Chains A and B, each alone.
Chain A
Amino acid sequence: MKKQNKERSLRFFGIPRLLPWLVPFRKRMLAMVILGVLSSLVDAVYPLFNRYALDHFVVGKTLGTLGIFLALYAVVLILQVLDNYVTTYWCGKVEMGVDETLRNAAFSHLQTLSFSYFSRYSVGYLHARIMSDTETIGGLCAWHLMDIVWNGAYVVCVLILMFVLNAGLALRILPLVPIAALFIWFFQKRLIALNRKIREANGKITGDFNEGITGASTIRSLAIGDTIQGHFEEDADEMRSLGIRAGRTSSLFVSTVTMFSMFALAVVLYQGGKLTLSGLLKVGTLSAFMSYAVGMMEPIQNLIHTFSQLIAIQANIERLTDLLQVKSDVTDTPEVIARYGDVFHPRRENFEPLFGDVEFRDVSFHYPDGEEMVLSHFNLTVPRGMNVAIVGETGAGKSTLANLVCRFYEPTSGQILIDGRDVRERSQMWLHSNIGCVLQTPHLFSGSVRENLCYGKPDATDEEIWQALDIVSAGDVVRRMEHGLDSEVGEGGDLLSLGEKQLLSFARALLSDPKILILDEATASVDTVTEKKIQDAIRKIIRGRTSFVIAHRLSTVVDADLILVVRDGKIVERGTHRELLRKHGYYRELFTRQFEETAADLA
């Protein structure tokens, strides 16, 4: 999937799409806006205190009202501090609340989506949607909102106050505002473009490091260290000059904006000074105007910066709401849900037992992202307890049948029957509660060994767990661990070796005692002792169950009741090992080529 690089502009930066999730926060957000406006008003009023002090105390040479002045000043200050405290705290609450709501929504929505969605997007992409898009949007609903309120309200308040204090002088400063705004906008755009280039250059450098590290042995055996270093230095130089360019642009930006505010100050000084000289303006007002002139630039800059961020956030909003709105293409009908419950609320009391007769009846199928039929009018009857091995080269499409039996995909036409009834007549949850699945790359979850083993049977007793472990010869592995069943397995099971992970995933499948078992044999090499254990374990767990084994091992294939041979996504031969060998077909070729490799290990 090529990502569309062009930024599509959505209406109101895409914010309307988010509204359904923002409803619970609307009251607090409104309160935040009101408090924010008040705080900015106070900020705009502070120079007026100075003005008063100048006109009454300094010029008027009297301290008569000092007490009231001090009290009023202190009260305003404390009120503003309280206001700011409440606003920022609520801001944090709204940010995290929106964040949490969206993350929960995205996570649980993903639990209901079908596999075609997961094959379309990478784990990294989906992870970024759940973790970082939600965070960005949470920030938008709190801090960006308040940035606009605080800065916008300040600018408006200041403009109003200036006109109230002296409309003539205010009119002379006003033209500077749009000029500054245009100027800032121009720079902001250039900086955004430069930053994009820098990100690309940075990506290149990270890529170089990645190549230098993962390609370490290749670089050494080809003796091309100098060449690789040369490439790297080119990229590092490019990064440097881009970085310097960006630095130069942004310091030009910052210094000119500051200069602008000094110019504004000069204008006030000149025009206001003349007015004061002629007695039309009090010196306090002059001072207030000078504060405003200097203080206006930053809020304008902030406002423009916030708007440019809003443009960038559009993309996050679009991607996240797309995810939240996508519909699964494998769904249970309302009747099925009424009887069996949905994914999150299964009605297990209505689940019938499953026996394990599987039948493909005139099934045609193509993957949602492909055109070509991988199965057409396919028929196969697998009575309960039969072991089916599926063989073929890597990438030949061996997992298609397994995907269909698990109902990870729906057939394009035809029916799949389990115990004589169409799978669609019962819920996905019913099916999945009775199916076991062992994957090529064993997947464990962080937590204890027990938690992992009980994944398919939460109420398993320790006795049952040990029994399952011993059947797959993993009992000793766990006994050797410091905390036995309570030992942590690490993230994704990283604290265990590949072979150990595999054995544990067999025990997990065994514990849930499924009537149908899908098993994708691993190709990765493990040491010979573990390999032997794994083979024994496989033999034991498929006994007495309907099983579909995507086979890479000689022994599994030879023992199977039925072998399906897959080539280019299609099933080209079927039969027992002997029948197929006698046929002199593709299976024989495949067998001599693929399985002789394991022979060296077996001998």
Chain B
Amino acid sequence: MKREDTNSTTSLQRAAAGSNAGLLRCFLQGSFHLFVISILCSLCVSVLDLVNPRIIGYAVDTVIGSDAQLPLVFQLLPGFSRLFAGVGTAALTVCVLALAAALFRFLAGTFNAKGAETLVRRMRELLFSHLLRLPCAWYSENQTGDIIQRCTSDVETVKNFVSEQLTQLFRTILLIVLALVFMSGISGELTLLAFAFIPVIVLYSLFFHTRIGVAFQKADEEEGKLSSIVQENLTGVRVVRAFGREAQERDRFETKNRSYTELWVHLMKLLSAFWASGDLISGLQVMAVVVVGAVFCVRGRLSAGDYIAFITYNSMLTWPVRSLGRVIAEMSKAGISIGRIREILLAPAEEAREEGAKPDLHQDITFSHVSFRYREGSPEVLTDVSFTARAGQTLGILGGTGSGKSTAAELLDALYDLPRGSGGIRIGDTDIRDINRHYLRENIGFVQQEPYLFSGTLLHNLTLASPAATKQDVLEAARISCLDEAAEKFEEGYNTVVGERGVTLSGGQKQRTAIAQMLLKNPAIMIFDDALSAVDAATDAKIRRELQKKSKGTTVLLVSHRITTLAGADRILVLDHGKVEEFGTPEELYEKNGLYRRIYDLQAAGREEENAG
């Protein structure tokens, strides 16, 4: 299914490292020609639209019997002028031209839409596949909402920039050039008069829009503040009520609302003034053309038909020219969005280690002198940790919050990379940094404390990592993980839709689903990272009993802060603040009278209390 091979990824990274324009060119692969075709079709539309007024002008001249002149193109066609004798033919030609223009207009729009959608799909897919290759560390440093915003609204901004602003810019410039040709064919002086206004209008609106952009941004920020007052009030509704602060909250909101409203009203005043003065300038331009044109007619320098044609041309230019300034001013927004997208694409991906070793994983796992911190400068989570988990045995890892027990598990699954020089983790004789990453993860089953379920059915989630699993396999895995009782309670059984858009599963149900999901993968190493914390004691025990039967020959790492969960482990590693506190069989540790024993005693406090009382 992978459409992007590694080669194009590196070229993408190269493009991302370059300029905004370079990255945009890379995005435009596969859609560039569509935009070109669209612009060419627009060119045809403009030509056809511009021919029309000449025909009408000619027809009018014929009608009033003045000296009619056909455009040069038509004069070259033999017999054409005779054809134009009647208004009927002129009307018919208008219809034919309108049909042709409609066809090209349709094609221009269609190709533009095709280009836009192709462009946006390419951007999304590049982003998505890159996101899938980024390391977990990157995700913990970036906020979900921000990433999503970059992948959705920033992508949309870039799309609009290309498919609307850039193409509109091209179209408008083409139209202006073509109109210049057609209009100067009628009257050079009048054209000069009409075009004299264009730079004024464009510069004026460009100036205005760059200025107003700042005001808009300020209003947006104000809106953000107002919106967060609402958000805070609603999420903190209990605090507001419990402290009896309703009146103050209302006042705070109304004050902010007032200043936000005033900001907008001020902005509206500016905008109205801008629109009105724009109306005035283009109104004056039209008036000037009408009046001077009329004078030209009276002096005999212009026929009535030419006069009409010229005024029509002039009116065709008004709106495109007026929006040109806005288009140019808004183009700067796209630069910001491309920059934000680029930041994601520039983040270095995980090394896939495709050439890496694929050793048998049914071997001893050795941590030697492992030290690890999540980020440069943050405190060490593991310090000089060494231990061995024997192949086929169960190793329990016990520790409190912040002891580093989950980190050890994450390092083994290569979710985080242990930097060279901070110790090593080996499976058999192979350092895991030399193992093919995909192979490693495929053969290690990792159940997290808060498993993530994808939207889809329960069955979809169970077989995600093992598409070849049979119904029989699924039922067996569900039985072992005690998911079967829960699944049977659902109306739709295993076809129940779960995740965000479906039934919300309880923490325990999620954990049991994740366990079944992992069992179906049939991994060589199983890691349970506090994966039974949300199931009740009886089920916990039952699942562990069943697992023990199933996991013969599998190396199991059981991470927990509950002694009872670790009861069946062959050996137990006790971690405290990232350091190995104790390591041995449960019996040895109990005798040792150390941290394990203290936790053991505390957790058995119920009994103790009772005996004492």
Per-position binary interface string of chain B over residues 392-429, scored 1 when its CB falls under 8 Å from any chain A CB and 0 otherwise:
00000011111100000010010100000000000000
**Chain A to chain B contacts (Cβ below 8 Å), 16 pairs:** A81-B280, A96-B265, A108-B254, A206-B148, A217-B139, A223-B442, A224-B464, A232-B124, A239-B121, A250-B113, A273-B90, A445-B236, A492-B231, A527-B402, A578-B613, A589-B537
Residues of B within 8 A of A602 (CB): 400, 602
The docked-state distance in angstroms from the alpha carbon of A127 to that of B231 is 7
B216 in contact (CB, < 8 A) = no
Given contacts A218-B448, A343-B247, contact A226 B60 (CB under 8 A): no
> Of B235, B248, B311, which one neighbours A123 at CB under 8 angstroms?
B235
In order of increasing CB-CB distance, the 5 nearest A-B pairs are A247-B113, A251-B109, A92-B268, A273-B87, A437-B242
Per-position binary interface string of chain B over residues 234-248, scored 1 when its CB falls under 8 Å from any chain A CB and 0 otherwise:
111111111111111
Residues of B within 8 A of A70 (CB): 287, 291
CB of A259 within 8 A of CB of B101, answer: yes
Residues of A within 8 A of B128 (CB): 208-209, 212, 229, 232, 236
CB of B90 within 8 A of CB of A591, answer: no
- Among the listed stretches B130-138, B178-186, B205-213, B360-368, which one makes contact with chain A, having 4 or more residues with CB under 8 Å of it? B130-138
Residues of A within 8 A of B147 (CB): 209, 213
A326 in contact (CB, < 8 A) = no
The docked-state distance in angstroms from the alpha carbon of A213 to that of B241 is 36
B452 in contact (CB, < 8 A) = yes
A88 in contact (CB, < 8 A) = yes
Name B's interface SS. Answer: helix
Beyond A229-B129, A256-B102, A277-B87, list 7 extra A-B contacts (CB 8 Å): A70-B287, A243-B117, A247-B109, A283-B64, A395-B506, A439-B239, A577-B609
Chain B residue with the shortest CB-CB distance to A286: B60
CB of A96 within 8 A of CB of B136, answer: no
CB of A446 within 8 A of CB of B537, answer: no
**How far apart are B71's CB and chain A's nearest CB, in angstroms?**
17
The docked-state distance in angstroms from the alpha carbon of A51 to that of B499 is 68
**How far apart are B170's CB and chain A's nearest CB, in angstroms?**
17
**How far apart are A286's CB and chain B's nearest CB, in angstroms?**
7
Chain A residue with the shortest CB-CB distance to B93: A266
Which residues, 170 to 217 on A, are CB-close (under 8 Å) to B?
202, 205-217
Chain B residue with the shortest CB-CB distance to A214: B144
Residues of B within 8 A of A84 (CB): 272, 275-276, 279
Residues of B within 8 A of A108 (CB): 250, 253-254
Name A's interface SS. Answer: helix
Given contacts A218-B452, A283-B63, A592-B603, contact A58 B272 (CB under 8 A): no
B386 in contact (CB, < 8 A) = no
CB of A406 within 8 A of CB of B464, answer: no
CB of A491 within 8 A of CB of B613, answer: no
CB of B253 within 8 A of CB of A269, answer: no
Chain A-chain B contacts (Cβ-Cβ < 8 Å), number: 445
CB of A243 within 8 A of CB of B246, answer: no
Which residues, 392 to 408 on A, are CB-close (under 8 Å) to B?
394-395, 406, 408
B595 in contact (CB, < 8 A) = yes
Chain B residue with the shortest CB-CB distance to A348: B244
A164 in contact (CB, < 8 A) = no
Residues of A within 8 A of B239 (CB): 437, 439, 443, 455
Interface centre among B64, B446, B604, B613 (most CB of A within 10 A): B64
Interface centre among B294, B441, B517 (most CB of A within 10 A): B294
B230 in contact (CB, < 8 A) = yes
Which residues, 208 to 263 on B, are CB-close (under 8 Å) to A?
223, 226-228, 230-250, 253-254, 257-258, 260-261
**How far apart are B556's CB and chain A's nearest CB, in angstroms?**
16
Per-position binary interface string of chain B over residues 580-602, scored 1 when its CB falls under 8 Å from any chain A CB and 0 otherwise:
00000000000000010011001
Residues of B within 8 A of A93 (CB): 265, 268
Which residues, 280 to 325 on B, are CB-close (under 8 Å) to A?
280, 283-284, 287, 290-291, 293-295, 297-298, 304, 307-308, 311
- Among the listed stretches A26-34, A98-106, A352-360, A416-424, which one makes contact with chain B, having 4 or more residues with CB under 8 Å of it? A98-106
CB of B272 within 8 A of CB of A89, answer: yes
Chain A residue with the shortest CB-CB distance to B279: A81
CB of A603 within 8 A of CB of B598, answer: yes
B73 in contact (CB, < 8 A) = no
Residues of B within 8 A of A218 (CB): 448, 451-452
Given contacts A123-B234, A223-B438, A270-B91, contact A61 B298 (CB under 8 A): yes
CB of A222 within 8 A of CB of B517, answer: yes
Per-position binary interface string of chain B over residues 19-49, scored 1 when its CB falls under 8 Å from any chain A CB and 0 otherwise:
0000000000000000000000000000000
CB of A111 within 8 A of CB of B249, answer: yes
**How far apart are A114's CB and chain B's nearest CB, in angstroms?**
9
The docked-state distance in angstroms from the alpha carbon of A269 to that of B297 is 21
CB of B102 within 8 A of CB of A600, answer: no
Residues of B within 8 A of A254 (CB): 105, 109
- Among the listed stretches A4-12, A305-313, A364-372, A428-436, which one makes contact with chain B, having 4 or more residues with CB under 8 Å of it? A428-436
The docked-state distance in angstroms from the alpha carbon of A436 to that of B241 is 10
A244 in contact (CB, < 8 A) = yes
Residues of B within 8 A of A240 (CB): 117-118, 120-121
The docked-state distance in angstroms from the alpha carbon of A581 to that of B612 is 11
Per-position binary interface string of chain A over residues 102-129, scored 1 when its CB falls under 8 Å from any chain B CB and 0 otherwise:
0110011011100100100001001100
Residues of B within 8 A of A107 (CB): 230, 233, 250, 253-254, 257
Per-position binary interface string of chain B over residues 86-111, scored 1 when its CB falls under 8 Å from any chain A CB and 0 otherwise:
01101110110111011101101110
Residues of A within 8 A of B258 (CB): 100
A225 in contact (CB, < 8 A) = yes
CB of A273 within 8 A of CB of B59, answer: yes
> Of A250, A437, A446, which one neighbours B238 at CB under 8 angstroms?
A437
CB of B124 within 8 A of CB of A205, answer: yes
Interface centre among B102, B242, B284 (most CB of A within 10 A): B242
Per-position binary interface string of chain A over residues 569-603, scored 1 when its CB falls under 8 Å from any chain B CB and 0 otherwise:
00000000110011000001101110111011111
CB of A89 within 8 A of CB of B152, answer: no
Which residues, 329 to 365 on B, are CB-close (under 8 Å) to A?
none
Which residues, 547 to 599 on B, are CB-close (under 8 Å) to A?
561-564, 595, 598-599
A227 in contact (CB, < 8 A) = yes
**How far apart are B246's CB and chain A's nearest CB, in angstroms?**
4
Chain A residue with the shortest CB-CB distance to B533: A597
Residues of B within 8 A of A205 (CB): 124, 152
CB of A600 within 8 A of CB of B242, answer: no
Residues of B within 8 A of A92 (CB): 264-265, 267-269, 271-272
Residues of B within 8 A of A527 (CB): 401-402
Per-position binary interface string of chain A over residues 541-578, scored 1 when its CB falls under 8 Å from any chain B CB and 0 otherwise:
00000000000001000000000000000000000011
B377 in contact (CB, < 8 A) = no
CB of B242 within 8 A of CB of A207, answer: no
> Of B120, B121, B152, B308, which one neighbours A54 at CB under 8 angstroms?
B308
Residues of B within 8 A of A429 (CB): 244, 246
Given contacts A99-B261, A269-B90, contact A216 B521 (CB under 8 A): no
Per-position binary interface string of chain A over residues 263-288, scored 1 when its CB falls under 8 Å from any chain B CB and 0 otherwise:
10111011001101100000100110
CB of A225 within 8 A of CB of B91, answer: no
CB of B242 within 8 A of CB of A406, answer: yes
Residues of A within 8 A of B120 (CB): 240, 243
The docked-state distance in angstroms from the alpha carbon of A241 to that of B506 is 38
A74 in contact (CB, < 8 A) = yes
Residues of B within 8 A of A221 (CB): 413, 415, 441, 444, 446, 448
A481 in contact (CB, < 8 A) = no
Which residues, 477 to 508 on A, are CB-close (under 8 Å) to B?
491-492
Given contacts A58-B304, A84-B275, A254-B105, contact A223 B269 (CB under 8 A): no
B376 in contact (CB, < 8 A) = no
Interface centre among A394, A446, A597 (most CB of B within 10 A): A597
The docked-state distance in angstroms from the alpha carbon of A70 to that of B295 is 12
CB of B56 within 8 A of CB of A269, answer: yes
B125 in contact (CB, < 8 A) = yes
Residues of A within 8 A of B234 (CB): 110, 118, 123, 126-127
CB of B610 within 8 A of CB of A233, answer: no
Per-position binary interface string of chain B over residues 139-162, scored 1 when its CB falls under 8 Å from any chain A CB and 0 otherwise:
100001001100110000000000
